[in-house]
Amino acid sequence: MRQKTFLLLALVLLISGTVFSQEKKLTLEDAVWNCWFDLAPANFNQIQWRGDSYKYAYIADDWTTIMTGDYNSGNVDKLITVYEVNTQLLANSLKKISYFSDIQWLSEDVFLHRFNNFVYIFDVKEKEVVTSFDVPDEAEDIFYSKEANSVAYNMGNELHYLDSKRHYIKFAADFDKNIVYGSNYVHRQEFGIDKGIFWSPKGNYIAFYRKDESMVAEYPVIDFTTFPATVKNIKYPMAGQVSEEVTLRVYDIKQKKTVNIKTDDGEKDHYLTSITWDPSEQFIYIGILNRDQNHLKFNKYNALTGDFVMTLFEETHEKYVEPENPAIFFPESKNYFLWYSERDGYKHLYWYDTDGNLIKQVTKGTWVVTDFYGFSEDEKSVYIQCTAECGVQRHVYEVNINSGKLNLLSLEHGTNNAAFTTDKKYFINKLSSVDIPNKIDIIDDKGKVKTALLLAKNPLKEYKLADAKMGILKAADGQTDLYYYIVTPPDMDKTKKYPVIVYVYGGPHAQLVTDTWLGGVSLWDYYMAQEGYIVFTLDNRGSADRGLEFENVVFRNLGIEEMKDQMEGIKYLTSLSYVDENRIGVHGWSFGGFMTTSLMTTYPEVFKVGVAGGPVIDWKYYEVMYGERYMDTPQTNPEGYESTSILNKIQNLKGRLLVIHGGIDPVVVPQNSMDLLLKSQELGINIDFYMYPNSEHNVRGKQRIHLMQKVTDYFKTYL
């Protein structure tokens, strides 16, 4: 099945570049800015089902109108406008909104809307405000509970909740600024953590993280926009250093009391992940991962007393275990849940009971589950997104829980994302592929298209774009398939030689080459091809969604195996008669910046020019959670840190290297680049450096045009 699909895909991809046949040329602003606006494919913004109904809604392109339709018709109508909502908000002496965003349908006629920190609930049928929550502007993380009809939020190092009667209750606070409650930045958002506040299923309790950072080293961040410049210290635990201590607490809203969940069994230097409420609200489940990240215990605790109940199961691995999801309880069979695990080498779903008994492995195969959409009403099936058809595609499946049988519901190649009705009889499918910019259909539970909602036109049809194709190369191990994407100049003369830019990321949790519009690469790649460059992207081993062994080959030696695979890409490129092997450049950001500097200093004879953005220069400067997962600590793996540090390779540099860094980067802190500058000056090695003083880990907004102009000019000047 997979081989047949890929052969068909390859045929499509080989001709994908030929659909662009006009003469208009891209500008840099088109490639960097307009690609998100005028040149973005048509879309139905935030399309979703209206509660349990068969009606759907989405936000129109002007963001001031909500449109609606039903499963059986392609006809859409205006449902409500910003003007109509504002009329009711002002009539109730409430704040106005400027546009719709973050809409959540609570029922067929009632939606929740968060506009900045103003949260309100609106009935479109009655055209009236049901409830509103005027959360203070300083609040950072706001979570609504439908069952409690209340919002909880953190503000500074305090936690509050606000009920529908506008009662403000502060339920966690500390005078010590090192104690942080309810933050979504616990463990630096590793392990899938995206929130620090967890409402219980019936809205009677709020679980929340308590983070003690008092023992963590401070890192100075300089604000150059003040006069004089000022320093803001952030907590940044670097690899091998003392880390934060995190616990979980539960607040009882009715009793107005808090209990500590007793996760400290003599060991505080661990991670609390996968927070899951039991449907009964009597228990809470926590994944306890050790500092070495190779031993996970999934524990059950009494949510009312905080007492440990039992360990349901444990997972170990000689390299690392990486839990990234909470447990998923069956809606009706409340003593059963599904658990994501890579224990067989691929990310799959496992069926457990609440006593820790494994019922069975639900999904199985040399592919990974990438999303979970829910259960059928009879709980005999689950609906997932996965890579079973092909590693660069995403498809929607129904899976029989008992037999594991897969039923493919999305029949067109590409990347499919689903939103199911409550009863799972229909789903809205959003498809993007190399030859379809955007397609939205309503599909039934047999995989048949019920209603076609949108087939976006090619927004680049007036432009003469480059040719592009996707292909497969063997990794440096000679066995593993790697996907690449190559963009070549329009009307390329194969009797001439062209310079090459290798765009690289290469790190965990990212896959660049995908069967999506433009092949998953940016429009800048096409712009540079238009300017006479070949642009090449390869997903090496270590990147995402190809299985555990594919990713953890990097363990204790980040960059080493990844570079070997990238050099297989170079071998392919230099085998092409029209590639100038003396003009090969490389560019990447973050982990890609690390890869850029690594390639420039490990293979200095190959790469003539490099542009590295926000690069990790030495992994000892990176944070504990991510860094130690892949590298262990500097104390236990000194050889790995030594061999991967750019500081020990910069003397090899022969080409032109531009390093770019955000001045207030809290992710890859600027000390990485500063030490590289010091080392290069000490050795008499010339590198170029540019800083965006008020940018964090990436350069965004209109300033990004400035960034990409600098990157473009550097390649044009030196490559």
**Known catalytic membership, residue 212:** no
Q: How far apart, in whole angstroms, are the C-alpha atoms of residue 435 and residue 14?
A: 11
**0.85 exceeded by the pTM?**
yes
What was the pLDDT predicted at 297? 98
Domain presence at residue 441 = yes
As a whole number of angstroms, the distance between CA 253 and CA 444 comes to 42
pLDDT tens, 68-84?
999 998 899 999 999 99
CATH code, domain with 31: 3.40.50.1820
Query: Which pLDDT value is given to residue 543?
Result: 98
pLDDT score recorded for residue 264: 85
pLDDT value for 20 = 45
In a domain, 492, yes or no: yes
| Confidence category of residue 17, pLDDT binned at 50, 70, 90 | very low
Among residues 405, 435, 458, the one where a domain terminates is: 458
Whether residue 52 is contained in a domain is answered as: no
CA distance 230 to 76: 53
Percent of the chain residues past pLDDT 70, beyond the cut: 97
What is the C-alpha R_g of the chain?
26
pLDDT for 100 beyond 70: yes
Q: Are residues 466 and 499 in the same domain?
A: yes
Identify the CATH number of the domain in which residue 332 sits: 2.120.10.30
pLDDT digits (tens, 9 = 90+) for 23-47: 899 999 999 999 999 999 999 999 9
145 is catalytic: no
What is the arithmetic mean of pLDDT over 547-565? 98
Q: Give per-residue pLDDT as tens, 657-677.
A: 999 999 999 999 999 999 999
Please, which pLDDT band fits residue 8 given cuts at 50, 70 and 90?
A: very low
Which one of the listed residues 16, 432, 433, 590 is annotated catalytic? 590
232 within a domain of the structure (yes/no):
no
Residues 6+ apart with CB under 8 A from 25: 463, 464, 530
End-of-domain residue from the set 458, 473, 493: 458
Report the alpha-carbon angle 320-325-328, nearest 5: 135
Which of these is catalytic: 441, 445, 525, 665? 665
Report the candidate in 642, 635, 634, 651 with the shortest Cα–Cα distance to residue 687.
651
* 435 in catalytic set: no
Burial class (CB in 10 A: 0-12, 13-18, 19+), 491: exposed
Instruction: Return the pLDDT at 18.
Output: 41
Query: How far does Cα 392 stand from its chain's mean position?
Result: 16
Who contacts 251 (Cβ-Cβ below 8 Å, separation ≥6)?
A: 159, 171, 172, 205, 206, 207, 208, 257, 258
Per-residue CA distances from 377 to 372, 446, 674, 680 (Å): 15, 16, 57, 63
Are 597 and 607 in a shared domain? yes
d(C-alpha 330, C-alpha 351), whole Å: 10
Domain range spanning residue 550? 2-37+459-713
Mean pLDDT, the chain, rounded, equals: 95
pLDDT at 546 over 80: yes
Residue 698 in tokens: 């990436």
Q: What pLDDT, in 10s, does the model give residues 417-451? A: 999 999 999 999 999 999 999 999 999 999 999 99
Within a domain: 280: no
pLDDT at 15: 40
Residue 111 pLDDT > 90: yes
Looking at the structure, tell me whether residues 544 and 443 fall in a common domain: no
SS3 call for 528: helix
Angstrom distance (rounded) from CA 623 to CA 191:
14
Can you list the alpha helix ranges (DSSP code H) found in 576-670? 591-602, 624-631, 638-644
The CA distance from 504 to 511, in Å, is 11
Whether 4 shows a pLDDT value over 80: the answer reads: no
Question: Would 213 be classed as within a structural domain?
Answer: no
Residues near 391 by beta carbon (within 8 Å), at least 6 away in sequence: 367, 481, 483, 545, 546
* Domain co-membership, 530 together with 397: no
Q: CA-to-CA distance for 521 and 648, rounded, in angstroms?
A: 32
Domain-located, residue 489: yes
Question: Do the bridges between strand 77-81 and strand 103-105 make them parallel or antiparallel, or are there none, so unpaired?
Answer: unpaired
Which one of the listed residues 295, 317, 509, 697 is annotated catalytic?
697
Q: Do the strands 415-420 and 426-433 form a parallel or antiparallel pair, or are they unpaired?
A: antiparallel
